[in-house]
Amino acid sequence: MHRQQTAVSKIRRFLAGRTHRRRILGGLLCAGLALALSPATRVSASDLPVLRAAVLKIGTVNWELDTIKRNGFDTENGFELSVVPYADNGATRVALEGGEADLAVADWIWVARQRAAGKDYVFVPYSRAVGGLVVPGDSTATTLKDLRGQKIGIAGGPVDKSWLILQAYAQKEYGFDLAAETEQVFGAPPLIFKAGLGGDTAGAINFWHFLAKMKAAGMRELISVETAATALGLDPDIPLLGYVLKESYLRENPQMASALYGASRAAKDLLAGDDAAWEVLRPRMNAKSDAAFEALRRDFRAGIPAPGNIDEDGAATFFSLMVSLGGEKLVGGARELPPGLFAELE
């Protein structure tokens, strides 16, 4: 009898242990399944291709790239963005050419020049923000011809695209040779910024973010490049600035152009409609006042291009004008828009 009770007890303990083991095993399976399906696992950096971006350390593109990283728009689009800062634009382009980076930022006129010279560069649109010409707040000038005999500060050099477009506009609208009838002072954007605010020049042409701060400080826009381009029959909505990648890289990562574009659009959509998204960027923006901060935010938003592929016919018209105005100094050996310049975006 005792032996029978002992046997029954052993059977009960075995069955209870088996139930306990099932519960442990089931719990482990559920935990493993939950981990496998979690967002963190799905977008694990180790499972995604890394896109190395060589960018100017203080460039405005960092506002978008920071927004992409901060909100996970890169991993949502199937890649991990790695941002590598450089001291000047020349160094970013050397990094791209030498394979130290997969991406740099440039305007597509420069990319067309490189492509015509045999490099396999491809352009993904980023921004249509362009400059203009500003004058002191108390200036009596109302048109470009009112600057006759005066000094204009110009960032970017003699073949700066804004300067070329404004010359063409002045000739078309007024029969006025802007280059011959004014004195030009060329310099780096910060120097033109200081000269303009200090009253050392009657007008200033600068990059868009410097112009935003100049306007916030009391200068006024005499004419924008967008207005001049429209008068010349150009499409002002064509994005001039963009991300540059190599075809060789895109052959290995065929989804990357569209993935990058998707992340870029997600960041733009957020920055276009959410003021709070800008607060975390403020330390990067070098805005010395609330007015400067608001001007930078406003003009960044104004430079967000419409979604979609670039109109190649419109770009070809723009490029022809650059060829005629800037010549070999601007476009090198290119005489027409190189095929394959713009990435096809899904």
Q: What are phi and psi of 220, to 5 degrees?
A: -125, 150
> How far is CA 259 from its chain centroid?
14
Q: What are phi and psi of 59, to 5 degrees?
A: -70, 150
Alpha helices in the chain (DSSP H): 2-37, 39-42, 61-70, 73-76, 89-98, 108-116, 161-174, 189-197, 208-216, 225-231, 247-252, 256-273, 276-279, 290-302, 312-331
* DSSP conformational letter for 47: G
Q: What is the pLDDT of residues 218-276, one digit of tens each?
A: 999 999 999 999 999 999 899 999 999 999 999 999 999 999 999 999 999 999 999 99
- Bridge partners of 80, per DSSP, are 50
Q: How far apart are CA 117 and CA 96, in angstroms?
A: 16
Q: How far apart are CA 195 and CA 216, in angstroms?
A: 16
Tens-level pLDDT at each residue, the chain (346 residues)? 444 444 444 434 444 444 444 443 344 333 443 444 444 444 455 689 999 999 999 999 999 999 999 999 999 999 999 999 999 999 999 999 999 999 999 999 999 999 999 999 999 999 999 889 999 999 999 999 999 999 999 998 999 999 999 999 999 999 999 999 999 999 999 999 999 999 999 999 999 999 999 999 999 999 999 999 999 999 989 999 999 999 999 999 999 999 999 999 999 999 999 999 999 999 999 999 999 999 999 999 999 999 999 999 999 999 999 999 999 999 999 999 999 999 998 6
Return the H-helix or E-strand segment holding 84.
Answer: strand 80-86
Q: Which of 70, 66, 71, 76 is nearest to 45 (CA)?
A: 76
Q: What are phi and psi of 142, to 5 degrees?
A: -120, -20
Would you say 40 and 221 are in contact if contact means Cβ atoms under 8 Å apart? no
Q: What are phi and psi of 245, to 5 degrees?
A: -125, 165
Which residues contact residue 100 at a Cβ distance below 8 angstroms, ignoring those fewer than 6 apart?
A: 52, 54, 84, 94
- Give just the sign of the alpha carbon dihedral 236, 85, 283, 49: positive
Tokens at residue 86, please? Answer: 């450089």
DSSP 185-222: EEE-HHHHHHHHHTTSSSEEEE-HHHHHHHHHTT-EEE
Return the H-helix or E-strand segment holding 127.
Answer: strand 121-127
Tokens at residue 322, please? Answer: 């650059």
Q: Give the pTM.
A: 0.84
Q: What is the pLDDT of residue 274?
A: 97
Which residues contact residue 191 at a Cβ distance below 8 angstroms, ignoring those fewer than 6 apart?
A: 153, 155
Quickly tell me which residue has 């991993």 as its tokens.
Answer: 75
Would you say 131 and 211 are in contact if contact means Cβ atoms under 8 Å apart? yes
Would you say 267 and 60 are in contact if contact means Cβ atoms under 8 Å apart? no
223: alpha, beta or left? (left if phi > 0; alpha if psi -120 to 50): beta
* DSSP conformational letter for 180: T
